[in-house]
Amino acid sequence: MKNISAGKWDEKFKIFLKKYYWNEILQLANEYPDQRSLLVDFSDLEMFDRELADELLENPDDVIPSAKQALQQIDLPIDALLDDATVQFIKIPNKVPIRDIRSVHLLKFLAIEGMVRKATDVRPKVLIAAYKCLRCEHIVYIPQAGKKLFEPFECENETCGKKGPFEMLVRESTQIDAQRLQIQESPENLKGGTQPQSLDMDVEGALVGHATPGTRVIVNGTLRSILRITKEGKSPFYDIYLQANSIEYIDTEFSEIEITPEEEEEILKLSRDPQIYDHIVKSIAPSIYGYEDIKEALALQLFSGVPKHLPDGSRIRGDIHILLVGDPGIAKSQLLRYMVKLAPRGVFASGKSASSSGLTATAVKDDFGDGRWTLEAGALVMADMGIAAIDEMDKMRTEDKSSLHEAMEQQTISVAKAGILATLRSRCALLGAANPKYGRFDRYEGIAPQINMEPALMSRFDLIFVLMDIPDKERDLKIAEHIVKAHHAGEMSEQRLLIPGTMITKEDVDSEMQVVMPHINPEIMRKYIAYAKKNVVPVLEEDARKHLIDFYMNLRVKGEGKDAPVPVTARQLEALVRISEASARVRLSNVATLEDAKRTTKITLSCLKQVGIDPDTGAFDVDVLTSGTSKSQRTKIKIMKDIIRNVASRHSGGKAPLEEVYVEAEAEKIDREHAESLIDKMKRTGDLLMPDPTHVRII
């Protein structure tokens, strides 16, 4: 095996390591070979010798082997040989955003921060291949670099010199564990919904196998290039990747969002304003008119409840999941997009997105072109510790739907495919939007069957809002005025910007912009939210707890008695607690008071009214949500069926004339309009056939 020739920096490194890292080296020697690497903080190196530190950043290919050599050759007081130990440098100041990488960075030592999006299996890779000449049995060692395996050209044994054949000897070759990762820019570092960019990483030795998709990391390493090979041959374009020297794991929430003392002052001042809830609501999607109750709920989602860790190792989520379902064209998608921009960490995805990783995670083969299985994180994993906005949830793929259950409640995503067993974290709040199956909502029907989504999934949302586009003169006019005003303000601003001689003044623009201006500047708002989530941990006061329990019990009571619908489930009680905590966080208060509890029940009630209400009796009924049909409706459908059967039995061919059915329905206190809608519904569910416009037949 060839030895690395002595580098120019070896002696300096020996002095440095002895002086700064003697204890760590002794510890390494004790634990070697279970532990094989020495972590060196860049600032220590800088303190020791500035020139050497700079040299590391500029010429890592000279410096890192020197450091390694020095470590391996240090005289140890104990009988140990660190013949395979490496030096890993951490806390590198050369942090380069992935999108700013340019050719000047090639062969430099860089720190790349982001999230692991894909990770391949760990597989051995040949470092030095041993070949035996089958003619003379001479063994030749060939160091391997690059993508292709290098084989000997001719036997180096002078007396032989033949061109093979050669046999590769696995036992005599040197292998290393290798893995490929793809790092993508973290959502919080992207401004206003730009597409994240990514960079591949080569990871070897002790570094492999730790980073799962969704993990936040800083990878320090050397930027390398390989020529792209196309069908036509070598292309002048390079593909770049980072050869990792060390990986730092970051798991603190919002560590990236820096809040200056002045900003903290401003945040504290805002939090003391009695109007803070109003300000925050008016800072969410101001260009969208109305929906105050939804915006209030969205505000609370941004702040979120407190995640809890129980002694049995389980974790209760603090994230508030919200679903918006409704007619098309009523600004659902707009609200989602706005939230993603506002959240300190937001990821937007569409349920029918073409991305191969889907919403959760998938294992795909050969993604890096080397035949290995790759685990790839989807939107919910990438939104870990943030908000995932998923539009068109009704159009999700079936695999995504089934893994959403776990993602929403346990906040993990398990992948078991092709020998890959992994649990990825998805501690995020889900904001979903869905359109009704038949284009528009039918008010006489429960929402579940009108949305292409399982009841069990629906019940995992803390709040569900139903947005119906019902013509309403007064409201329509207000929306129209609001939209036109927003456009008008925009037009004025653009004209002022683009046409030099315009009469429009800045004051004109500002006064017009007033209506669509967020009360709190979005940049400060993001910081406010990050500050609250980091520093505020509210505890529910006694009367707040009592209020929530009373509210819950009250709704449950309505479910007692033989025929009454069951109103609420325990899931809703948990939701109430989370929303109250979020409400306290808005004020930066560590106590959730009765006021917070009341705000919670107000919002919940407005939701339940839209969702869990039985369209016939007006009573709360979670059955409407979970099975899609309320109890009274189920009974009515049953009555209608009986009537139709009855009428049909009096006629030939099992056909019941509609007129007769309506008359009998009337006798059962189902008026004509209602009977029509029930028949419509039965037709859609396939319980009923209409052989001609005047007859129906039970199937």
Which of 222/333 has CB closer to Mg ion? 333
Give the residue, chosen from 80, 140, 168, 483, that forms a contact with ligand ADP under the rule CB under 6 A: 483
Q: At its nearest, how many Å lie between ligand ADP and the CB of residue 289?
A: 4
**Which residue type occupies 336?**
L
Terminal-residue alpha carbon distance, the chain: 81
Q: At its nearest, how many Å lie between ligand ADP and the CB of residue 145?
A: 52
Which of 33/328 has CB closer to ligand ADP? 328
SS3 500: coil
DSSP state of 565: P
Stretch that binds ligand ADP, among 72-80, 213-221, 285-293, 616-624 (CB under 6 A): 285-293
Which of 8/395 has CB closer to Mg ion? 395
What phi, psi does 126 have (nearest 5°)? -75, 125
Q: How many residues bind ligand ADP (CB under 6 A)?
A: 13
What phi, psi does 633 have (nearest 5°)? -70, -40
Distances (CA, A) of 328 to 303, 434, 651: 28, 9, 43
Which of 264/327 has CB closer to ligand ADP? 327
552 binds, among ligand ADP, Mg ion, none (CB under 5 to 8 A by kind): none
**Closest C-alpha to 275, from 587, 533, 604, 596:** 587
Which of 126/349 has CB closer to ligand ADP? 349
330 binds, among Mg ion, ligand ADP, none (CB under 5 to 8 A by kind): ligand ADP
Stretch that binds ligand ADP, among 1-9, 22-30, 475-483, 576-584 (CB under 6 A): 475-483
Q: At its nearest, how many Å lie between ligand ADP and the CB of residue 648?
A: 42
Q: At its nearest, how many Å lie between Mg ion and the CB of residue 391?
A: 6
180 binds, among Mg ion, ligand ADP, none (CB under 5 to 8 A by kind): none
The torsion region of residue 197 among left (phi > 0), alpha (psi -120 to 50) and beta comes to: beta
Q: Report strand pairing: 315-316 vs 233-249.
A: unpaired
Find residue 364's DSSP bridge partners: 374
| Site for ligand ADP contains 479 (CB under 6 A) | yes
- Whether 209 contacts 177, CB under 8 Å: yes
Which of 78/354 has CB closer to Mg ion? 354
Q: What does the block give as tokens for 462?
A: 């803390």
Q: Tokens 């120019």 sit at which residue? A: 8
Vertex 426 angle, CA 354 and 378, to 5°: 15
**Which residue type occupies 589?**
S
| Site for Mg ion contains 333 (CB under 5 A) | yes
| DSSP code per residue over 633-689 | HHHHHHHHHHHHHHHHHTSGGG-EEHHHHHHHHHHTT--HHHHHHHHHHHHHHTSEE
**Which residue type occupies 528?**
Y
501 binds, among ligand ADP, Mg ion, none (CB under 5 to 8 A by kind): none
330: CB partners within 8 A, 6+ apart: 467, 469
Which of 606/677 has CB closer to ligand ADP? 606
DSSP state of 516: G
Give the C-alpha separation, 244 to 112, whole Å: 10
Which of 384/392 has CB closer to Mg ion? 392
Q: At its nearest, how many Å lie between Mg ion and the CB of residue 368?
A: 34
331 binds, among Mg ion, ligand ADP, none (CB under 5 to 8 A by kind): ligand ADP
Give the residue, chosen from 289, 441, 552, 662, that forms a contact with ligand ADP under the rule CB under 6 A: 289
Interaxial angle between packed helices 522-535 and 332-342, expressed in degrees from 0 to 180 and rounded to the nearest 10: 70
559 binds, among ligand ADP, Mg ion, none (CB under 5 to 8 A by kind): none
| Site for ligand ADP contains 331 (CB under 6 A) | yes
| Site for ligand ADP contains 288 (CB under 6 A) | yes
Give the C-alpha separation, 5 to 3, whole Å: 6
Give the residue, chosen from 43, 275, 334, 505, that forms a contact with ligand ADP under the rule CB under 6 A: 334
Give the C-alpha separation, 430 to 404, whole Å: 10
Which of 481/543 has CB closer to ligand ADP? 481
Q: At its nearest, how many Å lie between ligand ADP and the CB of residue 436?
A: 11
Which of 328/691 has CB closer to Mg ion? 328
Stretch that binds Mg ion, among 113-121, 216-224, 327-335, 525-533 (CB under 5 A): 327-335
Q: What does the block give as tokens for 687?
A: 């319980």
Per-residue H/E/C for 146-176: CCCCCCCCCCCCCCCCCCCCEEEEEEEEEEE
Give the residue, chosen from 196, 205, 290, 559, that forms a contact with ligand ADP under the rule CB under 6 A: 290
Which of 333/626 has CB closer to Mg ion? 333
Residue nearest to Mg ion (CB): 333
Q: How many residues bind Mg ion (CB under 5 A)?
A: 1
| Site for ligand ADP contains 333 (CB under 6 A) | yes
Give the C-alpha separation, 459 to 227, whole Å: 52
| Site for Mg ion contains 353 (CB under 5 A) | no
DSSP state of 620: B
| Site for ligand ADP contains 482 (CB under 6 A) | yes
| Site for Mg ion contains 350 (CB under 5 A) | no
Q: Tokens 């346990």 sit at which residue? A: 410
Handedness of CA 520, 522, 528, 532 (dihedral sign): positive
| Site for ligand ADP contains 495 (CB under 6 A) | no
Q: At its nearest, how many Å lie between Mg ion and the CB of residue 283?
A: 22
- Whether 373 contacts 420, CB under 8 Å: yes
Q: What does the block give as tokens for 8?
A: 């120019």
3: CB partners within 8 A, 6+ apart: none
Q: At its nearest, how many Å lie between Mg ion and the CB of residue 325?
A: 11
Give the C-alpha separation, 85 to 9, whole Å: 17
Which of 333/583 has CB closer to ligand ADP? 333
Which of 92/294 has CB closer to ligand ADP? 294
Distances (CA, A) of 156 to 132, 140, 143, 541, 654: 11, 7, 15, 82, 94
Residues in 46-85 that interact with ligand ADP by CB under 6 A? none
Which of 179/333 has CB closer to Mg ion? 333
Own/partner long-range contacts of 16-23 (Cβ < 8 Å, ≥24 apart): 16/44, 16/45, 16/48, 16/49, 16/52, 16/70, 17/67, 17/70, 17/71, 17/74, 18/74, 19/48, 20/44, 20/48
Stretch that binds ligand ADP, among 96-104, 145-153, 288-296, 601-609 (CB under 6 A): 288-296
Q: Report strand pairing: 387-391 vs 429-434.
A: parallel
Q: At its nearest, how many Å lie between ligand ADP and the CB of residue 190?
A: 21
**Which residue type occupies 20?**
Y
Binding mask 310-329 for ligand ADP (x = CB under 6 A): ------------------xx
Q: At its nearest, how many Å lie between ligand ADP and the CB of residue 233?
A: 47
| Site for ligand ADP contains 532 (CB under 6 A) | no
**Closest C-alpha to 423, from 437, 410, 436:** 410
Query: Radius of gyration (Cα) for the chain, nearest Å?
Result: 33
Which of 334/356 has CB closer to ligand ADP? 334
Q: What does the block give as tokens for 682?
A: 């039965």
334 binds, among ligand ADP, Mg ion, none (CB under 5 to 8 A by kind): ligand ADP
Give the C-alpha separation, 475 to 485, whole Å: 15
Which of 88/287 has CB closer to ligand ADP? 287
Binding mask 154-193 for ligand ADP (x = CB under 6 A): ----------------------------------------
Give the residue, chosen from 250, 330, 364, 524, that forms a contact with ligand ADP under the rule CB under 6 A: 330
Residues in contact with ligand ADP by the rule CB under 6 A: 288-290, 328-334, 479, 482-483
Residues in contact with Mg ion by the rule CB under 5 A: 333
